[in-house]
Structure 1
Amino acid sequence: MIRDFCQERGFSPRIRHVQAIWPDGKYENWRVYCFADPASASAFIDHFGGVMFDPKRDRENGRARGVWRRSGEYTRILDLGPLSVPEILRN
């Protein structure tokens, strides 16, 4: 679904994997789609939902490789736009 969306619009995002870590110590492995321009990223988020990732802000000015220091309280994402976690993987 994501591949088709990007191909239809001529987007060619880079895909990165990061470990999102919250202040309470909880963490998850996340897939991050990186776009060449903010307009493409906004179109992607408008369609699929998601959280904007800024490498300078979210990776401690680029010092934290592979880590995304999140703020706030951890909440598990089960549904994100047209995508969702299958029922068998929810618990």
Structure 2
Amino acid sequence: MRNYTLIVEFCRAHGLDYETRQVKAIWSPSRQEDYRLHCFTDAASAELFRDYFGGVMFNPKCDRENGRAQGAWHRKDEYRRILESGPLSVPEILRN
């Protein structure tokens, strides 16, 4: 709940409207994770959010399978587990 509160308070303080979506990120058939996306109406808002919280920019028209609304995100970079990003962190109980 702490991460959610940090995001809501940051967006409220900066007047940012966003939607939250899910996407399956796939590096290989054996390495997949569900990612939560915070979607903004303009690039400047997304960059402000990323500068504070970290993360990777996602463009659904380019990054989802052929732009499909429910398509997966086929990642070409090397997989690395994300336990902290800016002030956000995975709770200790979920780390193992």
Q: TM-score, normalised by structure 1?
A: 0.91
- Distance across 1 between alignment mates of 2:24 and 2:38: 14
Q: Does 1:30 align with 2:30?
A: no
**Counterpart position of 2:3:** none
Question: What pairs with 1:34-73 in structure 2 (closer than 5 Å)?
Answer: 34-63=39-68, 65-73=70-78
> What are structure 1's unaligned runs of at least 5 residues?
none
- Distance across 2 between alignment mates of 1:43 and 1:74: 25
Say what the alpha-carbon RMSD is for the aligned residues: 1.4
- Where has structure 1 moved over 2 Å in runs of 4 or more? none
Of residues 79-88 and 22-31 in structure 1, the stretch that sits farther from structure 2 once superposed is 22-31
More helix by share: 2
> What are structure 2's unaligned runs of at least 5 residues?
1-5
Of residues 6-15 and 16-25 in structure 1, the stretch that sits farther from structure 2 once superposed is 16-25
Q: 1:62-91 deviations in whole A, cap 9, x for unaligned?
A: 136141111122111001000111222111
- Distance across 2 between alignment mates of 1:58 and 1:70: 8
Q: Is the contact made by 2:65 and 2:71 (CA closer than 8 Å) also made in structure 1?
A: no
**Counterpart position of 2:79:** 74
Of residues 54-63 and 81-90 in structure 1, the stretch that sits farther from structure 2 once superposed is 54-63
Identity %: 58
* CA displacement at 1:34 relative to structure 2: 0.6
Q: Does 1:20 align with 2:39?
A: no
Q: Which amino acid aligns with 2:83?
A: L
- Distance across 2 between alignment mates of 1:28 and 1:3: 23
